[in-house]
Amino acid sequence: MDSCQSDISLRVLVVDDEPDMVTTLHDLLIGEGNHVDTAYNSAEALTLLEKKDFDLILTDLSMSGMNGVDLLKEVKTGHPDTEIMIITGYGTISSAVEAMRHGALNYLIKPVEPQEIILNVDRVKRRFALRGFDYKEHRFHNLIGKSPAMRKIFTLIPRVARMHGSVLIQGESGVGKELVAQAIHLSSTRKSKRFVPIDCGALSDTLLESELFGHKHGAFTGSTSDRIGMIETAHGGTLLLDEVGNASSYLQSRLLRVIEEKKVRRLGENTMIPVDVRILAASNAPLHDLVDDGSFREDLFYRLSGFVINIPPLRERIEDVPLLSRFFLELNAQYYEQLPSEFSPQAMEILMQYSWPGNVRELRTVVDRAIALAEGDTIEHMDITFNGSLMDDLPFEMPALSDANESVLSTPFYTAVETFEKNYLSLLLERAEGNISKASQLSGASRKTIREKGKKYGLL
Between 284 and 134, the more confident residue is 284
Report the chain's C-alpha Rg in angstroms.
26
DSSP characters for 268-329?
T----EE---EEEEEESS-HHHHHHTTSS-HHHHHHH-SEEEEPPPGGG-GGGHHHHHHHHH
CATH architecture of 316-456: Orthogonal Bundle (1.10)
- Which segments of the chain belong to CATH 3.40.50.300? 147-312
**pLDDT tens, position by position, 193-212:** 999 999 998 888 888 998 99
Between 187 and 403, the more confident residue is 187
Q: Which of 144-158, 163-177, 273-287, 413-427 has the lowest mean pLDDT?
A: 413-427
pLDDT at 347 over 90: no
Is CATH 3.50.50.60 the classification given to domain 3-131?
no
Q: What is the pLDDT of residue 175?
A: 96
CATH, domain range 147-312:
3.40.50.300
Q: What is the pLDDT of residue 129?
A: 62
Q: CA-to-CA distance for 332 and 320, rounded, in angstroms?
A: 19
- Which segments of the chain belong to CATH 3.40.50.2300? 3-131
pLDDT at 393 over 50: no
Model-level pTM? 0.62
Q: Mean pLDDT across the chain, nearest whole number?
A: 83
**pLDDT tens, position by position, 279-304:** 999 999 999 999 999 999 999 999 99
**pLDDT tens, position by position, 354-380:** 889 899 999 999 999 999 888 888 898
For the four alpha carbons of 144, 145, 146 and 151, in that order, the dihedral sign comes to negative
pLDDT bin (cut points 50, 70, 90) of residue 394 is very low
Q: Is the preceding peptide bond at 111 cis, omega within 30 degrees of 0?
A: yes
- Which segments of the chain belong to CATH 1.10.8.60? 316-456
